[in-house]
Structure 1
């Protein structure tokens, strides 16, 4: 496996966040652990396939923990790791900026 190389901290952060869905998944997991179905309903617009892929990548990067409860029917919960919570803390100011400027951004052509 090739070692990753970044030019700056923002480059590294964007690499781990990669796209629209991961940030939203992390945001909702910041509220507490969720089962797959709960996440699928909460993150509106995401397909089941994409959610599965994004969760796998977030788990592989150490941001999300997947816990399997061995019962019938099987229960799987996703939650943030300490590493994931540290990213949520870093993203909070960006979310606040988005809230403050949402009307302006929605009005763009």
Structure 2
């Protein structure tokens, strides 16, 4: 991934985002820092080995901080937060276009509170799947 040196900036970004799990990892780590166990709860279809691989890849791309915080949690770098903002914007725009093409009214999506419980965040995943 992203090893093609002749890509334009948009192509490079899309190469990062074409991975099934990286947009979701970027979304959640920009929401608030999470431990590996919490990330596994939020991404239950991703194996522990695959999650570690995805995190390592995102760390190599300087999207996820290479060092966990004092509580042993992962977070995004400043560049990662910038990318997250674009990912969310793209997801909302894409969903609106899909709904418009199907003559449906788009539902408004609102992020949970930053202090939401893991149970609330896991439930939110159902809505998030329509956007990312």
TM class by smaller structure? 0.7 to 0.9
**Quick check: 1:6–1:12 contact (8 Å CA) kept in 2?**
no
What does residue 107 of structure 1 align with? Answer: none
How far the C-alpha of 1:16 sits from its partner, in A, is: 2.9
What does residue 78 of structure 1 align with? Answer: 74
**Quick check: 2:27–2:84 contact (8 Å CA) kept in 1?**
yes
* RMSD of Structure 2 on Structure 1 (CA): 2.1
CA distance in 2, matches of 1:22, 1:9: 18
**Quick check: 2:17–2:23 contact (8 Å CA) kept in 1?**
yes
- What does the per-residue CA deviation read over 1:75-108, in whole Å, with 9 as the maximum and x for residues that have no partner? 6210010010011112222110344337x6xxxx
CA distance in 1, matches of 2:22, 2:42: 13
1:54 correspondence with 2:54: yes
CA distance in 2, matches of 1:30, 1:46: 19
**Which ranges in structure 2 are unaligned for 5 or more consecutive residues?**
103-132
CA distance in 1, matches of 2:15, 2:91: 18
TM-score, with structure 2 as normaliser: 0.63
Work out which of the residue numbers 61, 84, 92 in structure 2 matches 1:96: 92
| Change in CA separation of 1:46 and 1:98 when aligned onto 2, cut-off 3 Å | farther
Residues 6-45 of structure 1 mapped to structure 2, 5 A cutoff = 6-45=6-45
- What does the per-residue CA deviation read over 1:52-80, in whole Å, with 9 as the maximum and x for residues that have no partner? 000001011110013164xxxxx621001
Across the two proteins, how many residue pairs are aligned to each other? Answer: 96
